[in-house]
Amino acid sequence: MHETASTFLEESEKKASDLGHRQTINFNIGKYNTAVKAGKLQFTDLMGARERAKNIKWRAIEHLDKHLEEFEMNITRRGAKVIWAETAEQVQQEILAICKAKQCKSIVKSKSMATEEVHLNSFLESNNIACVETDLGEYIQQLDGEPPYHIVTPAMHKSKEDVARLFAEKLGTDPGLTPEQLTMVAREKLRQKYLDAEIGITGANFIIADTGSICVTENEGNARLSTAFPKTHIVLVGIEKVLPSITDLALFWPLLATYGTGQQVTAYNSIFSGPRQEGEIDGPDEMYVILMDNGRTNILQDTTARESLYCIRCGSCLNACPVYKNIGGHTYGTTYSGPIGSVITPHLKDMGTYMHLSFASSLCGNCTEVCPVRINLHELLLHNRQKAVEENYTSGSEKMAWFAWKQGCMSRKMMNMAGGKMKNFLLKRFFSRSWGDNRALPEFAPKSFNQLWKERR
């Protein structure tokens, strides 16, 4: 626990002082903010739409067991196979078993945070199976050997010059290529991969209970290519992604597009309800849907934290968070970064190891303000802090310090006894390191307001 938190603090300090990183992020998030502002204009009652979306997700999560069984029943009727996986290791083994059965050596994969969560690429590589990212941002990150920086925009921290240098180093291209030329290079490199791959893997933005469907939204068409050419399609999706009815997409797709990228609706929106049916000209011969738990039921049983399962992974809370904008996505050391990552990671993994993430917040509430399904993120961060204390994950010295603080704050006599000089000494002695070298410590006045008031009277 101490080692993970210490690493986080060290990396945070380095990244916060990196002015080049800050300039790139501020530029990219500035473009995002402009687009989102325009995208919101499509809603005549934006708050009403957000409230309705939250209510739909509330009903979906409260009746999750029934909706998942309904989904399984409906999609298996059309020939798909549903696999229930409790852990990341089980997900890996199930996918490996499918790959071995198909004698697979090559996989194309569209953007999926669920696959990042189980470290699928490195696992498949260790089993001599090539898994190629087909989303441009993910492809850039894969070439650079880095995980995604952002839930929606994996290479947000890279400038166009950074990408040009990376392509020159890894692919031997001209280091002066424009973004359009770099995109064409990636397209040329990836096009044959779709034709050669035996298996295509996607995630899912939503799974629909009443029709037994998988919904994928994207802007590049790579998910469609990843499912059209390979003979086998594997879907890995978290159990919380369920929506009760296909009619709910009329609300959720525009909301996700607006808050994710600022669009009215994303360029490519696909609904898969099983493998290729009779009379269809493309699509896979077989389709597997892996419903992944991997800690989600830990969140489900916590009635307060359960609200975080409403998340539709738009990434808007990351773009709004002052902490994320200063320390970046990789500093968190987790699959999901930013406010939503800080809320769910301690439950998905281990509260003792990752409780420090819940303190990486100013509690300004901006994350809650921008969430399209109105998750009370800043309150859930406080809930995690309280849970960490209740479960005795805090150190003995911290408990003693807060006990002393409590006694002092409850006694006016003790507060007046510790004058300004004493308070400034204690502040400098115990808090200067955590306050940081780049900020000046606040100074207490020589006399408290209580003392000044008594003197005036």
Give domain status of residue 3, yes or no.
no
What pLDDT shows up at residue 452? Answer: 85
Give domain status of residue 124, yes or no.
yes
pLDDT tens digits for 243-299? Answer: 999 999 999 999 999 999 999 999 999 999 999 999 888 889 999 999 999 999 999
The residues, ordered by sequence, that sit 6+ positions from 208 with a Cβ below 8 Å of its Cβ are 71, 214, 215, 242, 243, 245, 246, 248, 249, 271
Sign of the C-alpha dihedral, residues 201, 207, 211, 212? Answer: positive
Q: Are residues 134 and 270 in the same domain?
A: yes
Domain count for the chain, please give it: 2
pLDDT tens digits for 217-229? Answer: 999 999 999 999 9
Q: Are residues 286 and 419 in the same domain?
A: no
pLDDT tens digits for 240-258? Answer: 999 999 999 999 999 999 9
- Cβ pair 297, 246 in contact under 8 A: no
Query: Last residue of a domain, which of 264, 294, 324?
Result: 294
Identify any residues that bridge with 436 across adjacent strands, giving them in sequence order.
none
Q: Are residues 284 and 424 in the same domain?
A: no
| pLDDT over threshold 90, residue 68 | yes
Residue % of the chain over a pLDDT of 70: 99
Query: Last residue of a domain, which of 239, 261, 294?
Result: 294
pTM, entire model: 0.90
Q: For residue 225, give Cα distances in angstroms to 18, 104, 106, 182, 199.
A: 39, 18, 15, 20, 11
Q: Give the N- to C-terminal CA distance of the chain in Å, as an integer.
A: 52
* Residue-range definition of the domain harbouring residue 445: 410-456
Q: Are residues 288 and 421 in the same domain?
A: no
| pLDDT over threshold 60, residue 142 | yes
| pLDDT over threshold 90, residue 397 | no
| pLDDT over threshold 60, residue 1 | no
Query: Last residue of a domain, which of 246, 272, 294?
Result: 294
